């Protein structure tokens, strides 16, 4: 069949040849000049709370200018959107394009919007060659210290130039606060500091601003040591729309019918579903509309000397008439039967004069096929086999005899939305603390390496969801895509058809291709490192010194260079994540030495936090009450109020240890579990006592003494080094006294799936009821895979 199609094309005038040297060479230059690795990180969810653990797996899907084997460290940091503050940072070992890890969020973290930034140690021109960001929301399991709310006053007049917003602050039991609350607010280009009146209220008057791209009022409240954040989307009196037209192929040509894609957004860049009249000169010829994604399509046969325009039918939008681009006299139009194709691209082409054409299939980095074609008639139906084209987004560019682009269209080649991972649970509904049996099997004739998360469904905000298929084939190439409200972008064919009609390549353009030169391919390659230096009496040493590290159950020793240099990326200095790590000098005159650490990742974190601009999904978030970001009562354990008790030291049999955690970071919860992940930061935690037995992963373990800060070890230096992943804590929750409010009830990484046999897993539900979601995603030697499943947890 494939041969028959090829012969048919040949008879119609196709003569496949090698790609033109100049275009192929320029695309090679462009690929090197804009070389980036395709890097994806699977986070278990995107809504977290204070004291919670974020689990993640990094996948280097496609290498760029740097080989996969050169990427040895993955750095992950959490940045607060409001002020770009870095909240927490850690580094993890990376090998063969894979990295696994977890980060515990601080107990003191404020609620709001954040981003995880993950990148590897390899640099191109001073920036990471592989970088990924994940938007998250932070909620809290602690009731706020005070109540705060925002409200737009109903009395705001339609013709008023100001918004009137009332801010009210009270105690938790709705009483007046003893003193005014400090307020900082921002709206557009207006920023102000003030405070509430004695009754805890503040009337904020905000003037209407033109061309406002962010309609949110942002408010920070501070009362004594407690802070809170609110934001409110303010209604605009008249919203200004942005309307863009995308004739399929690029141009309207007089006398040639074609499809016209169009896109409507408001001035906050949100898609608008709207109906409109299509005018030819001053006469209505059709009624057209956009979908919920703000995208539509209509056919048009433009006439010479005619003017075409759209009038929006929408009371909330002003400047409602928009003009289509003027049709050219002679040109070329094309129409794809579908932009989502498997193995053959079907299209029709029409021309008003141009005869000698060249069809170019490419992705602006590589030419896959260059086909000369002679237009013997003004209209032709064509089928192009895609044997030499890889899976993913591809551009068809039609060139004239001088290699000038006449028309262009993007499409998805070798599309396949079959379920590649077959998943099933033994039941659809479970009780609290009941065992779940999960079966997985790959439907492809290969093997895959995946990470698996089972999380509470409401811990995934739709607008912040990332999946490896959509990211690899769409998001990493086409930025600022509309939000898919159900399912994933990759598996929604109707969504893809709409998006590919109006979205061109963002990373690459034909203008980029024309402008690129061989000099643009010259890049400076480097790598980030974590280095150490030992000096003696503030001077450079002249012979190696033994330096030790500990943080688990053994001490590791290495020797520095003659000048005192050493690198932290060595096996002996890599510990399990979550352990506090310490350095010490193993020398009899150790107090004469000084340890200095140069962590280049911390410098890069600061640089990225100030320079990265996050593409906010086109759905606004509004927090008008600071209780909105507090977990519901059935999703959290009762948190006891912290009480400070002073007493004499007790070392008797009933002594549990001093409160809090010790210098090694270890603690014991009220249920005698060492470093219990259910109670980090709990005021009832105590320090472990040397020689006592505590439960760890269901096993009783005798605790060894923490030596930090004892006697001769006072010169020990704490450091945050490079880590191996910390294993997920599995529990069957047999102790009925111990609360189990976990939103992530299963996490695993580096699991191998095949089509030869089923993989069986089991885990337990927690005390949280409601809908839970299982997400499996990872890589194969043919691409990426993604699958999901759901089940319900009901109360006993």
Alpha carbon dihedral 21, 22, 23, 25, in 10-degree steps, equals: 80
Query: What integer is the mean pLDDT of 273-288?
Result: 94
**Start-to-end CA span in the chain (Å):** 59
- What pLDDT sits at residue 300? 96
Tokens 């280095």 locate to: 531
| Between 711 and 354, residue with greater pLDDT | 354
Alpha carbon dihedral 339, 354, 361, 261, in 10-degree steps, equals: -30
Is 180 strand, coil or helix?
coil
- For 672, the token pair is 């005698």
| CB proximity list for 15: less than 8 A, separation 6 or greater | 371, 372
- What pLDDT sits at residue 782? 85
Least confident piece of the model among 120-134, 203-217, 458-472:
203-217
d(CA 371, CA 555): 66
- What pLDDT sits at residue 505? 58
Alpha carbon dihedral 772, 776, 777, 778, in 10-degree steps, equals: 150
pLDDT band of residue 302 (cuts 50, 70, 90) is: very high
The pLDDT of residue 180 is above 90: yes
Query: What integer is the mean pLDDT of 272-287?
Result: 93
- What pLDDT sits at residue 637? 55
pLDDT digits (tens, 9 = 90+) for 511-527: 777 777 888 777 788 99
pLDDT digits (tens, 9 = 90+) for 107-140: 888 888 999 999 999 998 899 999 999 999 999 8
Least confident piece of the model among 53-62, 185-194, 340-349, 587-596:
587-596
DSSP class of 623:
B
Is 299 strand, coil or helix?
strand
DSSP class of 481:
P
The pLDDT of residue 157 is above 60: no
pLDDT digits (tens, 9 = 90+) for 569-627: 888 788 887 777 888 887 778 788 888 899 999 999 999 998 887 655 444 445 566 66
Q: Are strands 693-696 and 565-567 parallel, antiparallel or unpaired?
A: unpaired
- What pLDDT sits at residue 507? 59
pLDDT band of residue 11 (cuts 50, 70, 90) is: very low
| Between 584 and 480, residue with greater pLDDT | 584
Query: What integer is the mean pLDDT of 20-46?
Result: 82
Q: Which helix (H) or strand (E) holds 4?
A: helix 2-12
Query: What integer is the mean pLDDT of 275-303?
Result: 94
pLDDT digits (tens, 9 = 90+) for 37-50: 789 999 999 999 98
Is the CB of residue 370 less than 8 Å from the CB of residue 355? Answer: no
d(CA 623, CA 627): 9
Is 73 strand, coil or helix?
strand
**Which of 209-218, 574-583, 743-752 holds the top average pLDDT?**
743-752
The pLDDT of residue 653 is above 80: no
**Is the pTM here over 0.75, yes or no?**
yes
Question: What does residue 556 show for φ and ψ, rounded to 5 degrees?
Answer: -115, 140
Is the CB of residue 49 less than 8 Å from the CB of residue 136? Answer: no
Q: In 153-274, which ranges are E strands?
A: 162-171, 182-187, 190-195, 201-207, 216-223, 226-233, 239-240, 242-247, 258-265
Residues facing residue 45 across a β-bridge: none
d(CA 418, CA 420): 6
- What pLDDT sits at residue 75? 97
Q: Are strands 317-318 and 239-240 parallel, antiparallel or unpaired?
A: parallel
d(CA 12, CA 26): 30
Burial of 213 (0-12, 13-18, 19+ CB in 10 A): exposed
| CB proximity list for 12: less than 8 A, separation 6 or greater | 380, 382
Is 526 strand, coil or helix?
strand
| Between 589 and 531, residue with greater pLDDT | 531
Query: What integer is the mean pLDDT of 500-521?
Result: 76
Q: Which of 121, 163, 115 is nearest to 136 (CA)?
A: 115
- What pLDDT sits at residue 663? 67
Question: What does residue 663 show for φ and ψ, rounded to 5 degrees?
Answer: -65, -20
Q: How does the average pLDDT of the chain come out, rounded?
A: 84
- For 129, the token pair is 């060659």
Kindly list the distances between the CA atom of residue 493 and the CA atoms of 17, 415, 489, 702, in Å, as whole numbers in the listed order.
33, 10, 8, 57
The pLDDT of residue 230 is above 50: yes
The pLDDT of residue 261 is above 90: yes
- For 589, the token pair is 């005159």
- What pLDDT sits at residue 36? 72
Q: Which of 771, 744, 748, 769 is nearest to 53 (CA)?
A: 744
Query: What integer is the mean pLDDT of 633-639?
Result: 57
- What pLDDT sits at residue 703? 80
| Between 85 and 701, residue with greater pLDDT | 85
């Amino acid at each position: 069949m494939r041969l028959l199609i090829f012969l048919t094309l040949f008879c119609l005038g196709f003569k496949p040849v090698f790609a033109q040297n100049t275009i192929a060479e320029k695309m090679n230059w462009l690929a090197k000049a804009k070389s980036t690795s395709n890097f994806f990180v699977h986070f278990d969810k995107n809504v977290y709370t204070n004291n919670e653990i974020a689990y993640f797996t990094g996948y280097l899907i496609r290498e760029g200018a740097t080989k996969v084997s050169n990427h040895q460290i993955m750095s992950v940091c959490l940045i607060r959107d409001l002020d770009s503050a870095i909240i927490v940072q850690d580094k993890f070992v990376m090998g063969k394009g894979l990295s696994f890890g977890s980060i515990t969020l601080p107990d003191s973290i404020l609620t709001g919007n954040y981003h995880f930034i993950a990148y590897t140690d390899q640099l191109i021109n001073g920036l990471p060659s592989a970088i990924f960001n994940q938007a998250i929301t932070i909620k809290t399991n602690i009731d706020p210290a005070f109540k705060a709310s925002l409200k737009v006053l109903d009395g705001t007049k339609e013709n008023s130039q100001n918004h009137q917003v009332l801010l009210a602050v009270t105690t938790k039991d709705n009483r007046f606060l003893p003193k005014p609350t400090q307020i900082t607010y921002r709206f557009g280009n207006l920023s102000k500091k003030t405070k509430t009146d004695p009754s805890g209220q503040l009337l904020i008057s905000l003037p209407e601003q033109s061309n406002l791209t962010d309609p949110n009022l942002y408010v920070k409240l501070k009362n004594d040591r407690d802070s809170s954040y609110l934001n409110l989307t303010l209604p605009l009196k008249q919203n200004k729309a942005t309307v863009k037209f995308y004739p399929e192929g690029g141009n309207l040509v007089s006398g040639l019918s074609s499809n016209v894609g169009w896109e409507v957004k408001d001035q906050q860049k949100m898609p608008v579903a709207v109906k409109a009249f299509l005018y030819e000169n001053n006469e209505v010829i059709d009624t057209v509309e956009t979908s919920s994604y703000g995208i539509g399509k209509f056919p048009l046969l433009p006439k010479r000397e005619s003017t075409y325009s759209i009038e929006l039918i929408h009371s909330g939008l002003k400047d409602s008439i928009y003009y289509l681009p003027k049709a050219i006299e002679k040109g070329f139009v094309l129409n794809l039967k579908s932009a989502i194709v498997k193995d053959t691209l079907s299209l029709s082409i029409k021309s008003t004069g141009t005869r000698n054409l060249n069809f170019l299939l490419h992705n602006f980095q590589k030419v896959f096929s260059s086909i000369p074609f002679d237009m013997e008639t003004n209209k032709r139906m064509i089928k192009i086999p895609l044997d030499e084209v890889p899976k993913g987004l591809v551009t068809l560019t039609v060139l004239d005899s001088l290699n000038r682009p006449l028309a262009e269209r993007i499409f998805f080649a070798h599309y396949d939305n079959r379920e590649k991972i077959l998943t099933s649970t033994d039941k659809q509904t479970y009780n609290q603390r009941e065992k779940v049996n999960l079966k997985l099997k790959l439907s492809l004739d290969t093997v895959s390496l995946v990470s698996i998360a089972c999380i509470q469904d409401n811990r995934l905000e739709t607008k912040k969801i990332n999946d490896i298929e959509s990211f690899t084939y769409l998001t990493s190439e086409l930025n600022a895509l509309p939000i898919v409200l159900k399912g994933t972008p990759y598996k929604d064919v109707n969504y893809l058809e709409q998006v590919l009609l109006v979205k061109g390549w963002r990373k690459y353009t034909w203008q980029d291709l024309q402008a690129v030169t061989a000099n643009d391919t010259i890049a400076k390659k480097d790598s980030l490192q974590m280095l150490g230096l030992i000096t003696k009496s503030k001077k450079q040493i002249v012979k190696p010194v033994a330096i030790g590290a500990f943080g688990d159950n053994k001490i590791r020793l290495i020797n520095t260079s003659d000048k005192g240099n050493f690198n932290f990326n060595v096996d002996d200095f890599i510990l399990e994540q979550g352990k506090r790590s310490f350095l010490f000098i193993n020398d009899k005159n150790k107090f004469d030495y000084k340890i200095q650490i140069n962590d280049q990742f911390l410098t890069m974190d600061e640089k990225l936090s100030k320079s990265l601009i996050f593409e906010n999904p086109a759905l606004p978030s509004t927090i008008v009450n600071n209780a909105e970001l507090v977990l519901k009562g059935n999703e959290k354990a009762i948190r006891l109020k912290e009480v400070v008790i002073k007493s004499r030291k007790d070392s008797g049999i009933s002594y549990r240890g001093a409160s809090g955690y010790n210098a090694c970071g270890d603690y014991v919860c009220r249920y005698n579990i060492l470093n219990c992940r259910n109670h980090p930061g709990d005021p009832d935690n105590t320090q472990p006592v040397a020689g006592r037995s505590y439960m760890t992963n269901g096993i009783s373990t005798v605790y060894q003494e923490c030596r930090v800060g004892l006697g001769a070890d006072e010169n020990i230096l704490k450091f945050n080094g490079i880590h191996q992943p910390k294993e997920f804590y599995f529990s069957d929750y047999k102790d009925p006294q111990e609360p189990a409010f976990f939103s992530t009830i299963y996490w695993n990484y580096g699991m191998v799936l095949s089509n030869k046999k089923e993989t069986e897993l089991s885990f337990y539900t927690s005390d949280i009821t409601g809908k839970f979601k299982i997400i499996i995603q990872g890589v194969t030697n043919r691409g990426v895979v993604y699958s999901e499943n759901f089940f319900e947890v009901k109360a006993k």
